[in-house]
Amino acid sequence: MNNRACQLALIGMLMAVMVCSACAPRPKPGLTPVPRTRAAADQLFQQAEKKYQASAFPEALSLYTDYLSRYPGEPMAPAALMRIGGIHARQGNLAQARASYSQLVSDYPDSPLRAEAMLEILSLLLREGKFADAVSHSAEVLRAVSAAAPQARALALAGDAHAALGDNLKAVEAYTRALRLASASEQELIVPKLRAAILRLNSREANTLAERPVDDIPMDYLLFQAGMVMGREGRTAEALILLRSFLQRYPAHENVERAQQAIAEMDKTQRRERRVVGCLLPLSGSYQAIGQRALRGVELAASQHNFDSPMSPMQVIVKDTASEAQATLIALRELEREGVSAVIGPLVHAEAVVHEAQAMGLPLIALTQKDGVVGVGDYVFRNFITPSAQVGSLVAYAIGTLGATRAVVLYPDEPYGRTFTGLFRDEYQNRGGEVLAAVAYSPSATDFSGSIRKLLRYSQRIPRESRSDRADSRSSGRRGRADEKDYDLAFDFQAVFIPDEPTKAGMLVPQLVYHDIKGVHLLGTNLWHSDTLLRNAGPYVQGAIIADIFSADSTEPAARRFVDAFDQTFQHRPGAIEAIAYDTARMLFDVTGRPGVRFRSDVAARLRDAEGFSGATGFTRFQPNGDCDKELRILEVRGNKFIELKVGGGRVF
């Protein structure tokens, strides 16, 4: 049951109470009248409902809470708890929402809303990232509910939790059970998730699935669909295992002929020349979260390529690097033995394999900003956002478009801040600008007054009675103490660069305004591309400029196509990691499929093609040392969004 259905159910219960009250016969002499507390309780609940329907959620929350504290034994108490939980969830107070639903489950075990409350708890556990708890709770929900609809929703959510934990086989099983019980509209949401989970099965898991007993899962459906999906994605070995198991176990099934035709076609395909790309990703260990994100980007790229080019399918062999250097090297050697044409990755510990890949003559595109990766030879490349690329794009826009020829820097005195400050100073000088000052502060600081006051040396006081009237359209926030002074400040610089993470930047920028540093451009790194910055300092960072490799809100056609396809396939919007992995895979698929590309040396040579590539992350060209030359996206803070101002061009995949 979704939020809308829950809302209708609550309204229905309320109407039932009102109708019963209105239609009841008038009390006759000698009969007990309706208690006044019931009437008062109903009136209070109706007041809360009116506020809720008017989207006045803080007032509604207060009224529902008052109702619950005064009338915990009244019939609408469970409905009040559902409303309280829903409001907390809407406001992002997930733990409080879960506590409200849990109170309903424990205090009102006979309420018809108990099952819905348990499902909401399960959904909240997923939103909080408590996937193991979600798996455990889903079992409780399935024991408590018997109707098909809530069971289908609980199983689908359990599938999401298993998928997030990397337990793809259990995710496949949960989604399949959910599909059997779900309505037609719910099936449309579950099918893409089941397909994605099937594609994440490795060879061992595919074998396990082929041998799985029937029990409560429709194995005929699952074996046939999984085999067909694997076949369409170029996973021939796994597809043959699953489809042959299907034929053996269900010889009289209506889909036997289709399975036989698919097997025959795959046998022919195996005899044709195959294009195989390897992939090194941390699918376990401390970096498994970003590894799983990158894998989704590669999977989408492979799916699109094989759909568009069925006669020249691309096979991707994925190896888990376990987030360890030695495991990464072992995985690279395994890919070499399996004869891949090129390698996507790794994301971490790339320095452990780049020299080996060069010695093998195996083209490798690392997805990392770490030093020491490129420049080792003709076969090693990098496709990732680097500090120098960020600073280059940011400074080019600041000087060339904003006209900010003089700048200052406030930076944390730690490696990240020092690295960006040095690059920023050099780039400004190279482009004819000037950095007047670079002032450090402690990474643990919360009061930045001492550092900020050093910037005031580069200002002049202008008495208010003699100043010229002008609109300060670039003000970076509220006025602070300006009304207490009889002068304004004019600055020798037009921009302030702050290379720090969003929480710290969100504390620092308001203090700039407090010290009257306004009317200048704020520049940040891609770490600012975060909702955290907008929550902490939204009014103060309006107009701030950053450079980043990807924006899910981009209107550029290639990015828009990628975001829409990813959202449709995986039911959530992609981030930069998914986009970079997707573009890298499409790059390699494009290169290996070109006429005349037969050897690994051909792949490496074509990657250095001066024409470059355009994709979801913009235009990419590889430099002679193998590093990427990317024109990043320039983003500006407007309201509660990051608006794209400038993108590159080039050949679209």
Pairing of strands 545-548, 633-638: antiparallel
3-state SS class at 98? helix
In angstroms, rounded to a whole number, what is the distance separating the alpha carbons of residues 89 and 103? 15
In angstroms, rounded to a whole number, what is the distance separating the alpha carbons of residues 133 and 130? 5
3-state SS class at 323? coil
- Reported residue count of the chain is 653
In angstroms, rounded to a whole number, what is the distance separating the alpha carbons of residues 284 and 202? 14
CATH number assigned to the domain covering 388-548: 3.40.50.2300
In angstroms, rounded to a whole number, what is the distance separating the alpha carbons of residues 175 and 153? 10
Q: Beta-carbon neighbour count of residue 134 at 10 Å?
A: 24
In angstroms, rounded to a whole number, what is the distance separating the alpha carbons of residues 331 and 283? 12
277 DSSP β-pair partners? 316, 342
Return the structure tokens found at 603: 């792949």
Return the structure tokens found at 496: 């302030």
The DSSP letter of residue 228 is H
Burial class (CB in 10 A: 0-12, 13-18, 19+), 5: exposed
For the beta sheet containing 314-320, the strands, ordered from the edge strand earlier in sequence to the opposite edge, are 314-320, 275-281, 342-344, 364-366, 380-382
Query: Per-residue b/e over 63-97, b at no fewer than 16 CB within 10 Å?
Result: bbbebbeebeebbbbbbbbbbbbbbbbeeeebeeb
Interacting residues of 287 by C-beta distance below 8 A, sequence separation 6+:
323, 347, 348
- Cα–Cα distance list, 229 to 55, 66, 148, 232, 507 (Å): 44, 54, 27, 5, 50
Return the structure tokens found at 24: 């009841």
In angstroms, rounded to a whole number, what is the distance separating the alpha carbons of residues 230 and 244? 13
Return the structure tokens found at 182: 């779900």
Interacting residues of 333 by C-beta distance below 8 A, sequence separation 6+:
356
In angstroms, rounded to a whole number, what is the distance separating the alpha carbons of residues 203 and 216? 24
Q: Beta-carbon neighbour count of residue 184 at 10 Å?
A: 6
pLDDT value of position 37 = 64
* Residue spans per domain, the chain: 201-272, 275-382, 388-548
- In the predicted model, residues of the chain with pLDDT beneath 70 are 1-37, 215-216, 234, 267-274, 465-484, 610, 646-653
Fold: same for 275-382 and 388-548: yes
CATH number assigned to the domain covering 275-382: 3.40.50.2300
- Which 3-state string (H, E, C) describes 437-465? EEEEECCCCCCCHHHHHHHHHHEEEEEHH
- Which 3-state string (H, E, C) describes 273-316? CCEEEEEEECCCCCCHHHHHHHHHHHHHHHHHHHHHCCCCCEEE
The DSSP letter of residue 27 is P
pLDDT value of position 32 = 42
pLDDT value of position 342 = 94
In angstroms, rounded to a whole number, what is the distance separating the alpha carbons of residues 643 and 15? 45
Of 181, 173, 119, 180, the residue nearest 144 (C-alpha): 119
In angstroms, rounded to a whole number, what is the distance separating the alpha carbons of residues 114 and 217? 27
In angstroms, rounded to a whole number, what is the distance separating the alpha carbons of residues 594 and 587? 11
Task: Look up the pTM and report it.
Answer: 0.55
Q: Beta-carbon neighbour count of residue 561 at 10 Å?
A: 15
* Helix, strand counts (H, E) of the chain: 25, 17
